[in-house]
Amino acid sequence: MMTAYVIGQITVKDPDKWAEYRSRVPETLEPWGAELVLRGTRAKVLSGQHPHTDTVVIRFPDPETVDKWHNSAAYQDLVPLRAEAADVDLISYESES
């Protein structure tokens, strides 16, 4: 089975709304067996360019579960808040390890 990861590249626009969004995301992950691996703030860009200041990495059991989580009513209810709080690029990756 292939593990999947969602990586979010984030630029916060409203810190208070971002804090609210962040506090509510974990409850949307739990039913899908997902695990928050990293929430971090950029220390420095070592090579190239990277406009975002924050990153999140979430591990899922498989790629199908990523889609189920992302499309779930619980997560979709948070999308308007996310849009007000930050500019977010979400990308999913598959891993054989």
The pTM of the full predicted model, rounded to 2 decimals, is 0.92
pLDDT of residue 43: 84
pLDDT digits (tens, 9 = 90+) for 40-50: 998 899 999 99
Q: Domain range for residue 9?
A: 3-95
pLDDT surpassing 90 at residue 97: no
pLDDT digits (tens, 9 = 90+) for 4-28: 999 999 999 999 999 999 999 999 9
Percent of the chain with pLDDT over 70: 99
pLDDT surpassing 70 at residue 66: yes
**C-alpha to C-alpha distance for 34 and 5, rounded to whole angstroms:** 9
Domain count, the chain: 1
Identity at 86, one-letter amino acid code: A
CATH number where 8 lies: 3.30.70.100
| Helices and strands in the chain: count of H runs, count of E runs | 4, 4
pLDDT surpassing 90 at residue 77: yes
